Amino acid sequence: MNDLGVAVVIEDDADMRNLLEAVLGQAGFEVHSAADGRQGVEIVREHQANVVTLDVGLPDIDGFEVLRRIRNFSDAYVVMLTGRTEEPDVLMALHAGADDYIAKPFRPRELRARVAAMMRRPRYNAEGAQPPAAPATSAVPAAQQDTAVLRHNGLDLNRKTRSVLLRGEALGLTRSEFDLLHELLRGGGAVCTKADLVRVVRGDYYEENTYISESDERAVEVHIGNLRRKLREDPQSPRWLQTVRGVGYRLAPSKPDESN
């Protein structure tokens, strides 16, 4: 196995498949590939893939169904590749559990940068996994903490183990959901714009002068919506995530009936 682990390319177009194999191989992955969805699922399972690139339009079953099947047994990072740039397709991919999406045609450098950004943020708290328990820490507001653990209204986030506990119960978050929650907790009530949060999700590839599209911001809204659902937020009285209309999001104030 190469240094970065195993990458699986699921792509029916031979030229695109060869390009993806070359890009990921040069990046340091051991690469396996499949030309259809069912074969791709089995290869991901057999080789315990770390990263998967997945075409939406496949000859047997579409990429969304392939992704759902992969998520039944794997927390591999999945990048959807699609010629469709319509917003519903992007949102469907994120709802189904994709970590990122790239529209075709794409630049090989962009794919490498996005995969590298994901790999720098290991996922210990994938859906269904049991994260390590968060160590005890003093109950102080999240903004004042300079430790690995941030606490707020009964929520404990451990940056080092990438685990989240809600009143002692482990939450299964995706990489993007964890990173967004960490950023908002770290801000301690400061407003994070949607553009700021896009950069959190996208990693180092999105610098200050990088254009942020409406689709990028809409993707952040989807991640926040999924995060709220897992937190079981009351939309009328949120305990953790407040919407700042027209701007972005911030951490909700501390509740007097909760230890921070």
- pLDDT value at residue 236: 83
Average pLDDT over residues 43-52: 95
Beta strands in 83-167 (DSSP E): 100-103, 149-152, 155-158, 163-166
pLDDT given at position 148: 80
Per the CB < 8 A criterion, the answer to whether 142 and 152 are in contact is yes
Determine the Cα–Cα distance for residues 36 and 39; give it in Å rounded to an integer.
6
Q: How would you list the strands of the sheet with 30-34, edge to edge?
A: 30-34, 6-10, 51-55, 77-82, 100-103
Structure confidence at residue 127 (pLDDT): 42
pLDDT confidence of residue 132: 39
Strands, E, within 62-107: which ranges? 77-82, 100-103
pLDDT in tens, 90-139: 777 777 778 888 888 888 888 888 888 777 765 554 444 444 343 333 33
CATH architecture of the domain with range 142-251: Orthogonal Bundle (1.10)
Of 211 and 252, the one with more pLDDT? 252
The predicted structure's pLDDT at residue 131 = 41
Determine what percent of the chain is predicted with pLDDT higher than 70.
81
Q: What is the pLDDT of residue 126?
A: 42
Q: pLDDT tens digit string along 178-221? A: 989 999 999 888 999 998 898 888 765 455 666 677 777 888 88
pLDDT beyond 60 at 65 = yes
pLDDT for residue 203? 66
Distance separating alpha carbons of residues 181 and 184, to the nearest angstrom: 5
Indicate the average pLDDT of the chain.
81
Band of the pLDDT at 140, cuts 50, 70, 90? very low
pLDDT at 183: 92
Pairing of strands 169-170, 163-166: antiparallel
Domain ranges of the chain: 6-119, 142-251
- 3-state SS class at 103: strand
pTM here is 0.61
Classify domain 6-119 at the CATH class level.
alpha beta
Q: How many Cβ atoms are within 10 Å of 105's Cβ, its own excluded? A: 9
The pLDDT of 235-257, averaged and rounded, is 87
